[in-house]
Amino acid sequence: MVLRLEWKKMTMLALTAALILPWAGAGLQKARSEACPADAVLTQECELKLIALTFDDGPRRSTTTELLDGLAQRGVRATFFLIGEQVPGNEDLLRRMDEEGHQIGIHTYDHVMLTGLNAADFSAQVDRTRTVLKNALGHNDFLLRPPYGMVDDGVKRRAGCPIILWSVDPEDWDDKNTDRIVEHVVSRAKDGDIILLHDIYPTSVEAALRIVDALHQKGFYFLTVDELAAQRRLSLKAGSTYLNFYP
């Protein structure tokens, strides 16, 4: 109950900030200007579209660092769902994510399916990771993404925060084919989508940056999950599951 109350309070503060910070107005307006030249005829293709880029299974120093460098060059914020056991020794990467405006979430301690777990085992995966992240960053406003997207009533009841799934999944872990991953995402992306990738594969990092470039050209603007929800005037609720934020 304490976690849910704390999350609700922090979510309301985050929503308020997201709606009044300069980037929320000026940043989106700048993106619209870049997507639509002054002499362009306004069309559906010229309208700015909002999307969330998310990454699972990190951090991994080599690939996550390369990804953060590429996102910084492009002025893009993403959401990272991290594995707790991979945090020790990589705390500087977490602090960099946080300082550069990325959002950080929980992906369990060692990538265990959460469905069917009792309270103690669930806590060992989620609450333990929450504590690791809080110790590294000094705050406690983390989203949850269950491994494999598997959710049951127990997961919803014990989550203590919103549960974030996805609407576009190129299964980049499978063949690790960069061209296919890029084509899959770019051809399917819609306003309000949540894209799932993994920052532990070099092929996925390359694909992610190519996806950003291609979708920028199509008028997409990248936000964190919380930022995208705020733009849709949604207050995320602990224990609720979200796959997208379509208009």
Q: Domain spans of the chain?
A: 2-242
- Calpha distance 202→199 (Å, rounded): 8
Residues 104-161 have pLDDT tens digits of 999 999 999 999 999 999 999 999 999 999 999 999 999 999 999 999 999 999 999 9
- Calpha distance 115→5 (Å, rounded): 24
End-to-end CA distance of the chain: 31
- Calpha distance 209→172 (Å, rounded): 14
Q: Report, as residue numbers or ranges, the catalytic residues.
A: 56, 198
The residue with greater pLDDT, 196 or 20, is: 196
Is residue 200 scored above 90 in pLDDT?
yes
What is the pLDDT, as a whole number, of residue 46?
56
| From 46-50, 87-91, 156-160, 213-217, the region with the lowest mean pLDDT | 46-50
164-197: buried (b, 16+ CB within 10 Å) or exposed (e) per residue? bbbbbbbebbeeeebebbbbbbbeebebbbbbbb
Name which of 112, 110, 56, 117 is nearest 88 in CA terms: 110
Q: What pairs with residue 82 in β-bridges?
A: 58, 106
What is the pLDDT, as a whole number, of residue 19?
38
Name which of 196, 86, 87, 82 is nearest 149 in CA terms: 196
Counting beta carbons within 10 angstroms of the beta carbon of residue 91, is it exposed (0 to 12), middle (13 to 18) or buried (19 or more)? middle
What is the pLDDT, as a whole number, of residue 48?
81
Pairing label, strands 103-106, 143-144: parallel
Q: What pairs with residue 242 in β-bridges?
A: 164
What is the pLDDT, as a whole number, of residue 9?
42
The residue with greater pLDDT, 12 or 163, is: 163
Residues 5-64 have pLDDT tens digits of 445 444 443 443 333 333 444 455 555 545 454 444 334 445 689 999 999 999 999 999
- Calpha distance 6→228 (Å, rounded): 21
208-241: buried (b, 16+ CB within 10 Å) or exposed (e) per residue? bbbbbebbbeebbbbbbbbbbbbbeebebebbeb
What is the pLDDT, as a whole number, of residue 30?
52
Does the domain made of 2-242 have the CATH classification 3.20.20.370? yes
Q: Return the number of other C-beta atoms located less than 10 Å from residue 36's C-beta.
A: 17
